[in-house]
Structure 1
Amino acid sequence: MNETRTYRYTTPEPPESATGVTADVYAQLAADLGFEAAPTFVVLSAAPPLLTATWAVLRESLLAGVGSRVDKEMVAAGVSLTNRCPFCVDAHTVLLHATGEHGLADTVAHGGEPADPRHGRLLAWGKRMDRGRPFPAGHTPGYVGTGLAFHFINRIVSALLTENMLPGGDRKDRILRGMADAALSRTVRREVPAGKSLPLLQTTGPAPEWAGDSPVGAAFGALRAAAHLGAGLLSEEDAAYVRRSVAAWDGVTPLPLTGDGLPDRGERPGARLALLAARAPYRVTDEDVAAWLVPPHTDHCLVHLVAFGAICAVERVESALTGAAPAAAPARVGESA
């Protein structure tokens, strides 16, 4: 498995050959986010229900949701820093440059403390996502949706993409600033109408209370439903094990690589891979994937299994944020994943 590739373990179809709902998502990506065929979404193209729902949550919260775009980028950057996802931190740095906040972008890129206390509070809240929310209650769908979206996206990226694709040092800083060109700067400043991604959704699920009646709720419900399809790739025992392990996790402590915390690769490769995706996606190795990704499993299956682990972690964060228990597991769907 070639670590120099963007896609570590899958071979997505070229974006230019996309049709149907996948092409529709790529078109909205280009128009609303400013990135054409972003690898974060291309890697999900093997599973259109996940692709459409992940895009919808990000679009309806970060781009179209209530609240300042710069402030929500700070939340997203905080989440990405906590989850050790340099690819996503770089993306938020580029987008902050595009808004004209060059000093703030450089601060985030280098792990510094923002000069503006409000930005500092938002960055810190993104890192921990507790109940002390530094934004108006009416902006909850935008800010909480953004934070949870990136808890999911970070895990997809860390498990399935090559994270460090840019050189380090001053050269990297110049590249990141250069990526925020005039076209991207215009995109991040324009108003994005809410709800336009919802017709693309291929799954449905109950909206969480924190989202109210906003489009973020429908998008998050769809993502939860699509991601839980991956449980059907595991035995009932293994799926329950992953859920219990993540529910009991404090959301911070790294997952032990040996001992009782992580199933053996040779005996329970699917449970091991899903649990790594949830609790330490940056620790997924070639050997972990190779142990499970054998026929009849395909790219489609791998994306769904990683998404199952990721949504378990998202629900763990959500439960700590809201004080509610994680959502009950949906009925098993077996081969639907």
Structure 2
Amino acid sequence: MSIRYLKSHPHVSRGSFSEKILTQIRREFGAEVEPFTLHLPVPELLAGVWMACRETLLAGNGVRDAKEIIATAVSMLNQCPYCVDAHSMMLLGASGDDFSRALQKPELSPFAAWGAATRTPSSPILATPPFSADEAPAFIGTAVVFHYINRMVTILLGTSPLPFTKGLPKMVAMRMAAWFFGKAVNRPKQPGTSIDLLPEAPLPEDLLWAKPSPSIAEAFARFAQVVENAGTLALPQEVRTIVNHAVQEWQGNDQELDNRWCEEAIACLDDANKCAGRLALLTALAPWRVSETIVRDFSSYFAGDNLLVSALAWSSFSAARKIGTWLTLPDPATRP
């Protein structure tokens, strides 16, 4: 599957930093899948998103089935059919159950409800999550990772990783893919083995939910740092200030049917920065509205795949980390 809007596929040479990351992904995820490889124009972002995903979904505390349900529920919430198919497939590989059957299990259905509520800060289930305090960084981290990945995938990839999108052919393709990925899904994984891909960084205050797990805290601290570096490179300060303000005011709701709110927010910018601001705001708060024209306009002023991926990553992670602030750590004295 091709990656939209990227003009070239980066060459990965033997022994390079990118090759080292991809080797880990192949071994532990099962294949070089596009939600990771779309970050190849900026290898540090590839490392960061892999670390964040690996240390939560793959190696973090908690049952993999439940984390795959959260990944799927978050993807449904964000209207990302590619990720819904991908993680329904992973769930099938992990448990033998598809998403609909897993929802019928009383031990798993609360995780779907929690994932579906992650953009509703006032939802009661966020105050009483279905996981323990020890498991919380992995489950919250999984949700945050997929709020990030969903945005990137919605803009840069198609509607499904499968060759068929409906009916019996899709069911067969999903079961074949689940079998293919099943070995990697069920292989034991040691926490922390990806951390050395990036240098140490401080954990930002809005990611303190990760602190109880050293490996997850390290992964998110380092990912946050490379995302911030990427944003500084790709987006002018005036644009980042506007996006930060909009994200901080956001309460998880879908935006208005037109883009008036976006145009009003960027009205004070010059033409180049309006193009950057439009892309960044829509990526963060309404990624399904990012069109080819919006991407082309951005690239006419900020040329290069690395700048496009950097701008999308910074904007996506800005929204994802905001969502993370709504997700509550359970009382250590209680366990579901």
Give the TM bin, normalised by the shorter chain.
Answer: 0.7 to 0.9
Aligned residue type for 1:120: S
Deviates more, 1:235-244 or 1:268-277: 235-244
Q: Give how far 1:304 is off.
A: 0.6
Give the 3 Å change call, closer, same or farther, for CA 60–237 of structure 1 in structure 2. same
Q: How many aligned residue pairs are there? A: 311
- Please list, as runs of the form range in 1=range in 2, the aligned pairs for 1:139-288 lying within 5 A after superposition: 139-164=135-160, 166-181=164-179, 183-202=180-199, 204-206=201-203, 208-211=207-210, 212-232=212-232, 233-262=234-263, 263=266, 267=271, 268-288=274-294
Aligned residue type for 2:201: T
CA offset digits 1:79-108 (Å, max 9, x no partner): 111111111111111111212423x33x17
CA offset digits 1:15-51 (Å, max 9, x no partner): 764641211111111111112x211111101111111
TM-score normalised by structure 1 residue count: 0.85
Q: Give how far 1:209 is off.
A: 2.5
CA offset digits 1:168-207 (Å, max 9, x no partner): 22321221111122x5222211210111111112562316
Deviates more, 1:205-214 or 1:132-141: 205-214
| Structure 1 gap segments, 5+ residues each | 324-337
| Whole-angstrom distance in 1 between the partners of 2:278 and 2:318 | 14
Query: 1:141·1:214 contact (CA, 8 Å) conserved in 2?
Result: no
Coordinate RMSD, CA, aligned: 2.3
Deviates more, 1:245-254 or 1:76-85: 245-254
Is 1:99 the counterpart of 2:94? The answer is yes
| Whole-angstrom distance in 1 between the partners of 2:302 and 2:240 | 19
- Look up the SS of the partner of 1:28 in the other structure: helix
Q: Give how far 1:210 is off.
A: 1.7
Aligned residue type for 2:145: A
Out of 20, 24, 27, the residue aligned to residue 28 of structure 1 is 24
| Structure 2 gap segments, 5+ residues each | 119-125, 330-336
Quote the residue 2:318 is aligned against: 312
Deviates more, 1:163-172 or 1:244-253: 163-172
Quote the residue 2:295 is aligned against: 289
Is 1:50 the counterpart of 2:56? The answer is no
Q: Give how far 1:138 is off.
A: 1.0
| Whole-angstrom distance in 2 between the partners of 1:266 and 1:84 | 32
Q: Give how far 1:6 is off.
A: 2.4
Quote the residue 1:115 is aligned against: 104
Query: 2:195·2:218 contact (CA, 8 Å) conserved in 1?
Result: yes
| Whole-angstrom distance in 2 between the partners of 1:91 and 1:244 | 33
Query: 1:12·1:42 contact (CA, 8 Å) conserved in 2?
Result: no
- Look up the SS of the partner of 1:196 in the other structure: coil
Deviates more, 1:172-181 or 1:232-241: 232-241
| Whole-angstrom distance in 2 between the partners of 1:202 and 1:49 | 10
Deviates more, 1:258-267 or 1:88-97: 258-267
| Whole-angstrom distance in 2 between the partners of 1:62 and 1:152 | 14
Aligned residue type for 1:176: M
| Whole-angstrom distance in 2 between the partners of 1:161 and 1:7 | 6
Aligned residue type for 2:229: L
Aligned residue type for 1:241: I
CA offset digits 1:274-317 (Å, max 9, x no partner): 11111111221000000010255210000010011111101220
Q: Give how far 1:256 is off.
A: 4.4
TM-score normalised by structure 2 residue count: 0.86
| Whole-angstrom distance in 1 between the partners of 2:316 and 2:259 | 21
Aligned residue type for 2:68: E
